[in-house]
Amino acid sequence: MKILMPRMGTSVHEGTVVQWLKEEGDVLEKGDPLLLAESEKVEFEMESPYNGRLVKILTPVQSAIPVGEIMALVETEDEVLVEEESEFGPDPAGAAAPKDGESPPATEQGEGQPFLSPRVRRLARERGVPLEEAAKISGSGRNGRVTEADLEAYVAQRGSGPAAGAAVDIPVPEDADVLPLSPLRRRLSRRLSESVQGVPQFTTFDESDVTDIVEWRKAKGELTFARKGIHLTVTHFLAWAAIRALERIEFQPLNARFAGDAIHQFRTIHLGVAVAVPDGLLVPVIRGAEALSFAELVRRVQDLADQARQGTLTPEDASGSTFTITNAGAAGSLYATPLLNPPEAAILGVGAIRKRVVPLGDGSIGIRDRMGVSLSVDHRVVDGMLAAQFNRVVCQNLEQFDFSVLD
């Protein structure tokens, strides 16, 4: 019987084996912990679906493979497994074995996505080639499939080297300690490399006067929401301001992603909220955020943030976002250049609130609470003028916040 990489959410297309909890030859009972896997930065334990014996492990630790790909073979009482020539088991159609360097037979992948074998996908990440770009390479394999040799030739032609964060052989100085990457840090390294090397992105900066929000929080907010066990932060106001801006027709292109020869523009806002955890960053997702009241939004943000910090998020909770917000101000930073969360087209960040002396509308000078707002976008999807206009509208939504929605 085949052990397959499970689909842990409707928008999850691959997973990474973190640790095998059983070894080849071990006897399995249905429900035994079999392996630890990770998807969308969330780790989960997979149990054996069969009684039998673990005959062969096909997916090494730290290998990222598509949903539905074979990870291992189990011999049950009802069958005796025979070693196959192919490392992925028998050819279902009886087709000839792949040529040297060619990808193994295709398995089911996300709808509309050209097939790339696990080895080709892994090599693409190491070489800093986004998977969408790798899928467009003219393949020399069977049925036009992209082989490892095709990818290497493409990389050589375009002049790219290994991706940032890819494994390289670097001598260890005598006065340095070696700290292995955790599964989360390894995944972050890969995702951020894809973001920087694969997406032409830029950041536009603005500043918002949040004096009214600061004063309301002190006068009413903390008491009102503290009774419900909620610590009201600027992130909640930012989320509301961003959602209201994204609802405007002219700004819908920011709720989108680049998809090769097309742009996928979403009708629903699935808001990602970056949450700092001890070993990195998780981005839980609030689905259908535009339909929530302010109180519902605040509660959902807090619940998901708590789950992220407690390590109880599911892959489904951390996948499928269409627009992300992040708060660098929590660490005291005034401005930041947030990196896109692939494959999203935009990410919005804020800095710390500081009191500043500013000119007022009547010509006088006053002290106001000011906050930096940064918007990074995929330039293939969003132009500079639209990005700047969106950032300004978010700032205005914060400055002219309608506190009646809090009642």
Q: Which residues are designated catalytic?
A: 379, 383
CA-nearest of 259, 130, 135 to 190 is 130
110: amino acid identity, one letter: G
Residues 173, 177, 182, 187, Cα dihedral to 10°: -30
- Contact status, residue 77 vs residue 98, Cβ threshold 8 Å: no
Contacts of 39 (CB under 8 A, 6+ apart): 8, 9, 12, 14, 15, 16, 315, 319
Whole-angstrom Cα distance, residue 236 to residue 348?
13
Whole-angstrom Cα distance, residue 115 to residue 137?
12
Whole-angstrom Cα distance, residue 38 to residue 313?
11
Strand, helix or coil for residue 258: strand
Whole-Å CA distances, 28 to 23, 68, 73, 81, 85: 10, 21, 12, 15, 25
Cα angle 201, 272, 192 (rounded to 5 degrees) comes to: 40
CA atoms within 13 A on the CB side of 294: 20
